[in-house]
């Protein structure tokens, strides 16, 4: 049965620094900012940082921090479309989140991707069918193998825009252990929907969907309903765990409101607060993919972090979107949220 949920007062205060347009990568994605969440994590041993920018294809870059990434290594994409016209990823893999399995010295990675198929058995107009998948690497992201679908709906015969899948994934850890009920190892979010996996490596086939109060439906082919506090206007939410707030923090755009980024918070990743308008731009025609990134990863941040988002039209020559970064300072503490 659905548990009672009260949407609390949103009392998160933040300070944002000025916009900075980051220079484009010398090679790699056509878009300066990825067409999805930005995957950023510590390298082997923690000495450098890896980034996996994606636009249907995924590249691998390395550098000392978010602002000083080198040209892609290797020079070609490390993950692309599946073979043939009828695979779930025949029109691309977008790397959304990447995690190291087995400790800081391990080269074993698991990645969570948005995938698309634009091919149809019946004739009709152009359309895209979306899903979410799992990929794995044993060489620190230089090459990947496909594990399979995590979330997806049956593709119809006639062309239609649709499907299901996550746009953001987090691994449960000691820092967010309070939200780890029922042995949940991973949480994902896409639109207003929620997904979980109890498998330690987030394997394909292990994911389940939130439906009417519990994660009771299979990830592939199951039913789903919106998480408490979220509505159908949510577009491509990106979530991080904020250790200063002791909360999940979701940034999202709303469909049809292309100059805004909204912020939600949650104690458990299921029930979400009232929204707060974080960015309301008058200088860009469109902003998208708002995300908070910490110094070590795109999965966790503290009181001071970096806000990133895509902005168009681009001002950087050769880019389709500008890569905007801003400092973000969270003022409200976790204790203050508890008594609000």
Q: What is the pLDDT of residues 231-286, one digit of tens each?
A: 999 999 999 999 999 999 999 999 999 999 999 999 999 999 999 999 999 999 99
pTM for the structure as a whole: 0.92
Cα distances from 1 to residues 36, 105, 267, 311, in angstroms, run: 34, 43, 20, 42
Give the per-residue pLDDT at 177.
55
pLDDT attached to residue 329: 96
The β-bridge partners of 314 are none
Pull the structure tokens for residue 148.
């399979």
Burial class of 280 by CB neighbour count within 10 A (0 to 12, 13 to 18, 19+): exposed
Phi/psi of residue 26, nearest 5 degrees:
-70, -35
**What per-residue confidence (pLDDT) applies to 179?**
58
Label residues 170-201 b or e (16+ Cβ within 10 Å = b).
bbbeeebeebbeeebbbbbbbbbbbbbbbeeb
The residues with which 261 forms a beta bridge, in sequence order, are 279
Q: What is the structure's pLDDT at 213? A: 96
pLDDT < 50 regions, the chain: 1-6, 26, 30, 340
Under a CB-based contact definition with an 8 Å cutoff, are residues 238 and 170 in contact?
A: no
Determine contact, residues 289/310, Cβ cutoff 8 Å: yes
């Amino acid at each position: 049965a659905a548990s009672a949920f009260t949407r609390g007062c949103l009392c998160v205060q933040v300070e944002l620094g000025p916009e900075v347009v980051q220079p484009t990568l010398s090679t790699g994605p056509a878009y300066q900012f990825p067409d999805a969440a930005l995957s950023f994590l510590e390298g082997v041993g923690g000495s450098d940082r890896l980034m996996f920018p994606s636009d249907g294809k995924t590249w691998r870059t390395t550098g000392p921090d978010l602002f000083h990434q080198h040209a892609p290594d290797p020079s070609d994409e490390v993950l692309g479309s599946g073979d043939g016209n009828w695979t779930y990823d025949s029109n691309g893999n977008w790397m959304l989140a990447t995690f190291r399995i087995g400790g800081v010295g391990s080269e074993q990675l698991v990645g969570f991707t948005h995938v698309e198929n634009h091919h149809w058995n019946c004739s009709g107009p152009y359309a895209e069918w979306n899903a979410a998948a799992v990929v794995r690497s044993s060489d620190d992201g230089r090459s990947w193998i496909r594990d399979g679908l995590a979330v997806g709906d049956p593709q119809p015969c006639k062309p239609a825009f649709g499907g299901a899948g996550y746009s953001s994934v987090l691994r449960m850890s000691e820092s967010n252990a309070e939200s780890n009920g029922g042995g949940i190892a991973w949480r994902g979010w896409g639109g207003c929907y929620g997904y979980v996996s109890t498998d330690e490596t987030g394997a394909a086939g292990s994911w389940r969907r939130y439906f009417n109060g519990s994660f009771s439906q299979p990830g592939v082919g199951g039913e789903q309903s919106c998480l408490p506090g979220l509505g159908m206007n949510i577009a491509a939410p990106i979530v991080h765990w904020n250790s200063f707030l002791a909360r999940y923090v979701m940034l999202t755009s709303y469909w049809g409101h292309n100059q805004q980024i909204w912020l939600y918070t949650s104690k458990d990743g299921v029930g979400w607060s009232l929204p707060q308008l974080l960015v309301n731009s008058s200088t860009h025609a469109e902003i998208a993919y708002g995300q908070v990134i910490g110094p070590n990863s795109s999965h966790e941040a503290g009181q001071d972090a970096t806000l990133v988002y895509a902005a168009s039209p681009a001002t950087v020559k050769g880019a389709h979107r500008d890569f905007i970064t801003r400092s973000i300072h969270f003022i409200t503490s976790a204790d203050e949220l508890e008594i609000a």
